[in-house]
Amino acid sequence: MNNGLCISAHCRIKDNSAALNGETVFTLEEASFTQFIKALYRDQKFEYSKFFKMDNLSKLGFAAAEILLSNADDKIMGEEVGVVLANANASLDTDVKHQESIADAKNYFPSPSVFVYTLPNIVIGEICIKHKFTGENACLISKSFDSDQLFEYTMNLFNNGKVSSCLIGWVDCYLGEYDAALFFITRNNDKKSNFESERLKSIYQNCS
């Protein structure tokens, strides 16, 4: 059924590779996440120095959003753009680093710049700050990519007039493993890319 919404673009970052709408835009063989994401930043010319202060989850989500929105319509109204992201490990990757810094009472030096990332929704904030998005946002936690959950939540936002476009998807990282799959949902009667749960699932499973 056509709901008047379409997936106007999708981006995937996984296994040292970044792709936009299924086309690889950058790849780096045999590199750690840190090496890969830094090389991706340079290659894609993000030019946003705060990037290097972000934790891994935010770097991953920010990079995916930058690539996803690189060809987005300039007329996007920031106050009408929502962001709905989900993941399995919340902010655990950074939580562990923070815990390590406070585990020894004799060497107790928690880092403020690490601590501020010990929430899973900070990545949404970083994306919103960069793109001046002030619409509704939500951070969902699920065991694995759940297209039904993302679809239903996003449809609710559109049906209630909360957003006119929405950046949604999966941004997860923990201990060097990472996976980002972002989708930009807009109002459009494009049957080929109609916004459906099954289509989200299919793109997630087939686009790497």
Partner 1 sequence: MEELINKLKAEIIEVLNLEDISPEDIEAESPLFGEGGLGLDSIDALELIVLLEKNYEIKIENPQDGKQIFFSIQSMADFITQQKVA
Output the smallest distance, CB 115 to partner 1, in A. 9
Stretch that binds partner 1, among 81-89, 103-111, 127-135, 172-180 (CB under 8 A): 103-111
User: What's phi and psi for 11, nearest 5 deg?
Assistant: -135, 140
The 23-42 site mask, x for binding partner 1 (CB under 8 A), equals ---------------x----
Contact between 113 and partner 1 by CB under 8 A: the answer reads yes
Is 165 exposed, middle or buried (CB count within 10 Å of its CB: 0-12, 13-18, 19+)?
A: buried
Nearer to partner 1, 130 or 162 (CB): 130
CB contact burial 64-82 (16+ within 10 A = b; e otherwise): bbbbbbeebeeebeeebbb
Question: What is the rounded distance in angstroms from the CA atom of residue 64 to the CA atom of residue 27?
Answer: 14
Question: What is the rounded distance in angstroms from the CA atom of residue 23 to the CA atom of residue 25?
Answer: 6
Kindly give the residue spans of alpha helices, DSSP state H, lying in 87-177: 92-102, 112-115, 122-131, 147-159
Contacts (CB under 8 A) with partner 1, residues 118-147? none
Nearer to partner 1, 99 or 202 (CB): 99
Output the smallest distance, CB 45 to partner 1, in A. 13
- How many CA atoms lie less than 13 Å away from 79 in the CB half-sphere? 0
Number of residues lying near partner 1 (CB under 8 A): 10
* Residue 93: alpha-carbon gap to chain centroid: 15
Question: Per this entry, what is the length of the chain?
Answer: 208
Q: Longest Cα pair distance anywhere in the chain, in angstroms? A: 62
Nearer to partner 1, 118 or 165 (CB): 118
Stretch that binds partner 1, among 16-24, 89-97, 106-114, 163-171 (CB under 8 A): 106-114
The 57-86 site mask, x for binding partner 1 (CB under 8 A), equals ------------------------------
Contacts (CB under 8 A) with partner 1, residues 156-195? none
Task: Count the helix, strand and coil residues of the chain and give each as a percent rounded to the nearest 5.
Answer: 45, 25, 30
Q: Which of 30, 45, 49, 75 binds partner 1 (CB under 8 A)?
A: 49
Contact between 116 and partner 1 by CB under 8 A: the answer reads yes
Contact between 111 and partner 1 by CB under 8 A: the answer reads yes
Q: Which residues form the interface with partner 1 (CB under 8 A)?
A: 38, 49, 52-53, 109-113, 116
